[in-house]
Amino acid sequence: MSKYMLLKYFLLLFIFCNTFALEELPQTFKQLSTPLYKSFEPIKKLSGIDSLKDMLSGYTTELEDLKKLGFEVDKTKNKKEVHQYLSQLRAFEKKYDFILHEIHMSINKAIDNDDYKLFTKLTSYEFDGLLRNRALLEKSLKFYEKNSKKKELAFFEKRIKYKKIEILTSQEFYNVVSKSQYSSKNKNSSKNKKVNIKVVNIGKSMIVYIENNNPYTITVKIKAKYQGLDYDRSIRNEFPIKANTKKEYIRLHKQRRALSFSYSYKYSSIIGSIDAVHDDSYIYRLPYAKGISHKISQGYNGSVTHTGHSQYAIDFAMQIGTKIYAAREGVIVRIKENSNRGGFDKKFASSGNFITIEHSDTTFATYYHLKKNGVRVKVGDKVSKGTLIGYSGNTGYSSGPHLHFAIFKASNASKTESLPTTFLSEEGLITTPKKGKFYTAK
């Protein structure tokens, strides 16, 4: 057999196997039913655990019967049977949620009892919704990291990897922390920095100013030490400063009997305002052309990288070069477009191109993974909702071409947090974007 014929044979076999795999699950109400059917094998294995045995008995049998009904409905399309199937799916979904709750309770109990053997049994089989509670996931990760030498689990290794990647990626385009210091002995330590301290002498007093030379609002945190000086001890040490402005921080007064005095400051800053209050009534525009639909490849609380301060990020699957439009009016405050590197590897984490827009409520939006030279705006530009701002790409840490979009605010002077948003679409208002669903811009 020639190499060409052999290649053709394997290609046909691959297509056949994948076509067969696609037909293994009922297609009616596929989005609702698929997670349930994919839980069959994991739940079956978990039913061997003594504490879950009684609860899970009969679950897989009922699920198999439901699956048969689904295949029957696919064939007949009978309205009465379709309605019956949907009702059973919804009832089974409630049962599934209850089982998830009980499994999570068992995981929590295993951690509290320091029972790593039981913990590994409960978390060895991944299925939809496993450890979707953020607090329990963090608790489980800490417990796993403490015991992982006994036995590694793919579920947690994957999440530890993604968490590291997320931190690396976020530091590049929205979580950059700037640190500096200034003192009465070394007044040049903050010179030429974007955030500076300046002290102005007025007789026996001094006014300390914080200067923000960035084109965006920042949150600053200051640690101060004083000797021989009186000052207002109730002064706030973590606060926002608007773009390109100077803010009076504190007034210092020399103590009468002090032979000498000194002051020193260590300070850090980050993009965004700690005082920002998101306008939850605002309706965002989907960030692509009107009348065009794109699929959500990862939504809120996504299992891949949308965790922690990125939990409300959204990934829109789209080809490289797709036009990107501003989802909300604002000012362009940061851009990067010189990278042509990307891939599903941590070495690409700092290579993503992006646009950051600050809004009137001092929240800001990030449009990430743009193509090289794909930015059509510059820092300082005021853009309206619906303005063409750039073109999508596949730069940075990315498993495929898409647009990563998120709204943020500063939660403190060292990190930001993402915020949920509402979008307008031809399908109606979107408050919780669903993975795998297509939405049409309006």
Q: What is the CATH number of the domain that holds 325?
A: 2.70.70.10
Which one of 47-51, 189-193, 222-226, 255-259 scores highest in mean pLDDT? 222-226
User: Residue 223 maps to which CATH number?
Assistant: 2.60.40.10
Count how many domains the chain has.
3
- The answer to whether residue 15 sits within a structural domain is no
Q: Which long-range contacts (CB under 8 A, 24 or more apart) does 183-187 make?
A: 183/262, 183/263, 183/264, 183/265, 184/261, 184/262, 184/263, 184/264, 185/262, 185/264
Identity of the residue numbered 92? F
Q: Same domain, yes or no, for 98 and 186?
A: no
Show the DSSP H helices in 187-249 as ranges: none
Percent of the chain with pLDDT over 70: 87
Count how many Cα atoms sit within 13 Å of the Cα of residue 335 in the half-sphere of its side chain. Answer: 18
Same domain, 229 and 84: no
Between 298 and 217, name the one with better pLDDT.
217
The residues pairing with 284 across neighbouring beta strands, listed in sequence order, are: 423
For residues 113 and 251, membership in a common domain is answered with no
105 and 239 both lie in a single domain: no
In a domain, 237, yes or no: yes
Residues counted in the chain: 442
Indicate whether 111 pLDDT > 90: yes
Instruction: Convert the pLDDT of each residue in 403-426 to its tens digit.
Output: 999 999 998 888 888 899 999 999
Q: Does 442 score more than 70 pLDDT?
A: yes
How far apart are the C-alpha atoms of 183 and 361, rounded to whole Å?
34
Q: What is the pLDDT of residue 8?
A: 47
Quick one: 295 and 394 in the same domain?
A: yes
User: Which of 152, 169, 189 is the endpoint of a domain?
Assistant: 152
Q: Are 172 and 352 in contact (CB under 8 A)?
A: yes
Q: Which of 271, 306, 328 is the last residue of a domain?
A: 271
pLDDT of residue 337: 93
* Nearest partner of 115 among 42, 39, 44, 49, judged by Cα: 49
Confidence of residue 212 (pLDDT cuts 50, 70, 90): very high
Q: Is residue 165, in this structure, part of any structural domain at all?
A: no
Asked if residue 387 is part of any domain, the answer here is yes
Residue 165 sits at φ, ψ, to 5 deg, of -65, -45
Categorize the per-residue pLDDT at 242 as very low, low, confident or very high, splitting at 50, 70 and 90.
very high
pLDDT above 90: percentage of residues in the chain: 44
- Same domain for 285 and 411, yes or no, is yes
Q: How far apart are CA 216 and CA 176, in angstroms?
A: 13
Are 353 and 372 within 8 A, CB to CB?
yes
Q: 425 and 329 in one domain?
A: yes
Answer yes or no: is 9 within a domain. Answer: no
pLDDT (average), residues 258-274: 91
Q: Are 261 and 228 in contact (CB under 8 A)?
A: yes
- The band of 171, judged by pLDDT with boundaries at 50, 70 and 90, is very low
Which one, of 63, 70, 54, 55, lies nearest residue 36 by Cα?
Answer: 63
Question: Which pLDDT score, from 0 to 100, does residue 48 have?
Answer: 84
Q: Is residue 173 part of a domain?
A: no
> 19: exposed, middle or buried (C-beta count within 10 Å: 0-12, 13-18, 19+)?
exposed
Last residue of a domain, one of 254, 271, 288: 271
353 with 397, same domain: the answer is yes
- The pLDDT-based confidence of 301 (bands split at 50, 70, 90) is low
Lowest mean pLDDT among 56-60, 300-304, 371-375: 300-304
Same domain for 201 and 139, yes or no, is no
- Strands 422-425 and 283-285, by their bridges, are parallel
Is 284 inside a domain boundary? yes
In a domain, 234, yes or no: yes
Taking the mean position of all CA atoms in its chain, how far away is CA 122? 26
Same domain, 144 and 47: yes
Give the confidence band of 11 by pLDDT, cuts at 50, 70, 90: very low
Quick one: 388 and 406 in the same domain?
yes
- Cβ atoms within 10 Å, residue 338: 11
Same domain, 139 and 288: no
pLDDT over 80 (residue 350): no
What span, in angstroms and rounded, lies between the C-alpha atoms of 437 and 64? 26
Host domain of residue 256: 178-271
Residue 316 has pLDDT above 50, yes or no: yes
